[in-house]
Copies of this chain bind each other. A is one copy, B any other.
Amino acid sequence: MSNTTRYSVETIPGGYPRDRIFNPVSVAVMGVTPTPGTVPYDIFYNILASGYKGVLYPVAPGKRSISSVPAYRYLTDIKDDIDLAVIVFPAKVVARALRQCGEKGVKGVIIISAGFREVGPEGAKREQEIKDICAEYDISLVGPNCLGVVNTDPKIMLNASFARKMPAQGSIAFLSQSGALCTAVLDYARNRNIGFSKFVSFGNKAGVTEMGLLDYLHQDEQTDVVLLYLEELRDGRALIETARRVTRGDNPKPILAIKSGRTPQGADAASSHTGSLAGEDAICEAVFAEAGIIRLNTIEELFDTAIMLTNQPMPKGNRLAIVTNAGGPGVMATDSAVNLGLEIARFEQATTDKLTDALPAAANIKNPVDVIGDARSDRYEAAVGAVMDDPNVDQALVILTPQSMTDIEEIARGIVKVHEQTDKPMACSFIGAADVAVGVDILQAAHIPHYIMPEWACGAMADVQRIRRWRELPDEADYQPPSADRDAAAAIIDAAPAGYLDEDQAMTVLKAYGFPVPACKLCRDADEAVEFAEKNGFPAVIRVVSPQIIHKFDVKGVALDLKDADAVRNAYNDMFRHISEAMPDAEIKGVLVRGMIPAGREVILGAKYDSAFGPTLMFGLGGLFVEIFRDVTFALAPITPFTAARMVRQVKAFELLEGARGTGPADVDSVEECLLRLGRLAFDFERIAELDINPLIVGPAGQGSNVADVRIRLSE
């Protein structure tokens, strides 16, 4: 997809963070003030107090020292080379400070200060100035309007942020467009004993973007999983390209993301607060699907899944075993697991035998295994051990409720023992709080993920399955786009004014791109129509062609199933009489004559040029499915066969194409072929504002499809 970047609202000038942003040997904080509790002081003090392993210089005009560290009036007063400058000056003087960085040869800069694009036109101007300076001096920039950057690597220990405390070390990287959210996330994560490798608030992303950060973290040895909080998606194509590189291949790392502004009201709020371009959520959904990014809704879902990914191996399959000492939560977990697409494992006989031996008669030895309320550690260990050994089990969830005889600590130790002897992932849910705390600590120390509620564990396990399936998809490196006669289409499109193409022109464009268009001819009078129909065969169809008539059926501009020459002639005359009364001012170019298309299943293929995402594609089944159930899928054009298959299969009504209701399978291949061609057409011609093939009539498998109607609207 190398030529796709022309639809980027913004490519990535300096969008890739230089390593010195995360691993600087020397840091200057520019604009420090001496008052604790203010951002300019706190940022400086946080670096100082975090145990940073490099050299730290405060730039604080008019101060001799800050917290006893000697201060400098100007950056240029510092003799040492500076790797990273953190700018906390007020917005108005940021540009000047940045230029000083450039002159001193500083290549990494974080601008914490707010007052840029997010505050309106004046701020946007300031932001552009900053971008220009970064380009001029080749500066790698994080921010502005951000919380800063944290690197917990013990060799660096950099907390260049206004987060109160340094987070614990871990293998999760967190990237956030919202700064304020970061502090809350850090506090929340600390409470769950979750550590981070890197923590980045990238704010307005005037320089470094999420794409650059993803590439950087892909190479970062400390990072295993990337969490991403986005408020705007400015460059879907670049995100797809980058994320695929990160999430697949030799060194795959999962990306879990929240993209807020799902609802129109939420998007409103987003655009008023960071000046975001709120894209249509359906397109975002498509971008994430194409990118292999797991989209989640809430902060705790992010961490629920991240702790599973960072603590446990990838399961080999989808089959879950549940062991519980309480039937109720076992049933609830089963409901949740099944709803989320996990499979409830069926045990082999050997497992059932082991469970029968180890458990009392009243226990349930089927999955979910109920060891019963009075179970102690021996029963748990035997049951969990038995199910983990079963080749039909890919992963297990162990649930515990604290009864008065439950030896929680011993049970946790027993689970840890089983865990040490298996290479399959496990998770636990000891439901409760104080009573179960001692067991939870033991589990977590052994890197067994713990969830207060079993449903959360199921959610995390289901997300892991999505990642597994994504990684298993075949590569498509050798795919060749469909052939097309671009010149023939250009001859029509380039010459046409803005507005709808006439139907004969639209059909010619589709034909040039290899769509299955029925033989047809624009005929100027009844004789010509009869002549073509006789040559082409009966029954015939005639359709009026007029730039003013978009909805042909409304003015009786379509006549179907004309069985002979007389029928064509009469239909022609009737049509013209009716239209001359109904729309006397319509300019009639003639009628399009073609044969009847054999009946089949009707689908809709659409393309739309989106100002943020460029050409996008839509697919759905005809009529009601689209209108009532909004049962449609989207993608960015162009697409590959992989995406064509996804688009067709992700609509619920796909069953109908597959052959539900005893109709036999439809020719799905031909639909995918048409989607590929539409992807190329929409990509080749930016002027195609909207294109609707409605319907494409799909025949039985092997018998192809036919375009029954098409409308193409061109922009200026």
| Contact digits for A158-181, partner B, Cβ 8 Å, 1 yes 0 no | 000010100000000000111111
| Contact digits for A197-227, partner B, Cβ 8 Å, 1 yes 0 no | 0000000000000000000000000000000
A402 touches B434 (CB 8 A): no
Tell me which residues across on chain B come within 8 A of A578, comparing CB atoms. Answer: none
B179 touches A402 (CB 8 A): no
A257–chain B nearest beta-carbon distance, Å: 13
Tell me which residues across on chain B come within 8 A of A288, comparing CB atoms. Answer: none
A269 touches B401 (CB 8 A): no
Q: Chain copies in the assembly?
A: 2
Whether A579 is near chain B, meaning CB under 8 Å from some CB there, is no
Q: How far is B260's CA from A453's CA once the two chains are assembled, in angstroms?
A: 14
CB within 8 A of A183: which of B298, B402, B629? Answer: B402
Highest count of chain B CB atoms <10 Å: which of A260, A297, A653: A260
B179 touches A297 (CB 8 A): no
Whether A656 is near chain B, meaning CB under 8 Å from some CB there, is yes
Evaluate whether A404 and B325 lie within 8 angstroms (CB atoms) in the complex, with A262-B339, A266-B338 already known: no
A658–chain B nearest beta-carbon distance, Å: 11
Tell me which residues across on chain B come within 8 A of A114, comparing CB atoms. Answer: 362
B261 touches A331 (CB 8 A): yes
Give the contact-size bracket for chain A: 35 or more
A662–chain B nearest beta-carbon distance, Å: 10
B331 touches A187 (CB 8 A): no
A435 touches B164 (CB 8 A): yes
Q: How far is B328's CA from A231's CA once the two chains are assembled, in angstroms?
A: 7
A500–chain B nearest beta-carbon distance, Å: 21
Evaluate whether A326 and B628 lie within 8 angstroms (CB atoms) in the complex, with A162-B404, A366-B272, A433-B190 already known: no
Evaluate whether A184 and B402 lie within 8 angstroms (CB atoms) in the complex, with A361-B119, A628-B652 already known: yes
B298 touches A332 (CB 8 A): yes
Whether A516 is near chain B, meaning CB under 8 Å from some CB there, is no
Stretch at the interface among A35-43, A54-62, A305-313: A35-43
Chain B, Cβ-Cβ closest to A186:
B432
A202–chain B nearest beta-carbon distance, Å: 12
Tell me which residues across on chain B come within 8 A of A631, comparing CB atoms. Answer: 629
A465–chain B nearest beta-carbon distance, Å: 16
Whether A666 is near chain B, meaning CB under 8 Å from some CB there, is no
Q: How far is B655's CA from A629's CA once the two chains are assembled, in angstroms?
A: 10
Evaluate whether A660 and B164 lie within 8 angstroms (CB atoms) in the complex, with A184-B329, A432-B183 already known: no
B263 touches A368 (CB 8 A): no
Q: How far is B624's CA from A660's CA once the two chains are assembled, in angstroms?
A: 10
Highest count of chain B CB atoms <10 Å: which of A176, A267, A629: A629
A261 touches B335 (CB 8 A): yes
Tell me which residues across on chain B come within 8 A of A392, comparing CB atoms. Answer: none
B187 touches A434 (CB 8 A): yes
Evaluate whether A364 and B273 lie within 8 angstroms (CB atoms) in the complex, with A335-B261, A404-B37 already known: yes
Chain B, Cβ-Cβ closest to A335:
B266
Q: How far is B655's CA from A274's CA once the two chains are assembled, in angstroms?
A: 37
A624 touches B452 (CB 8 A): no
Whether A79 is near chain B, meaning CB under 8 Å from some CB there, is no
A332 touches B258 (CB 8 A): yes
Whether A52 is near chain B, meaning CB under 8 Å from some CB there, is no
- With A39-B405, A184-B402, A263-B335 known, 4 other A-B pairs at CB within 8 A are A183-B401, A187-B435, A265-B335, A266-B331
A residues apposed to B, CB below 8 Å: 37-39, 42, 114-115, 118-119, 162, 164, 176-181, 183-188, 190-192, 229, 231, 258, 260-270, 272-274, 297-300, 325-332, 334-339, 344, 361-362, 364, 366, 368, 370, 373-374, 401-405, 431-436, 452-453, 455, 624-625, 627-629, 631, 652-653, 655-656, 660-661
23 contacts between A and B (CB under 8 A): A39-B374, A39-B404, A114-B362, A119-B362, A162-B403, A164-B402, A183-B401, A186-B432, A187-B402, A190-B433, A229-B328, A231-B327, A263-B339, A268-B366, A269-B330, A269-B334, A273-B330, A273-B364, A298-B455, A627-B660, A627-B661, A628-B655, A628-B656
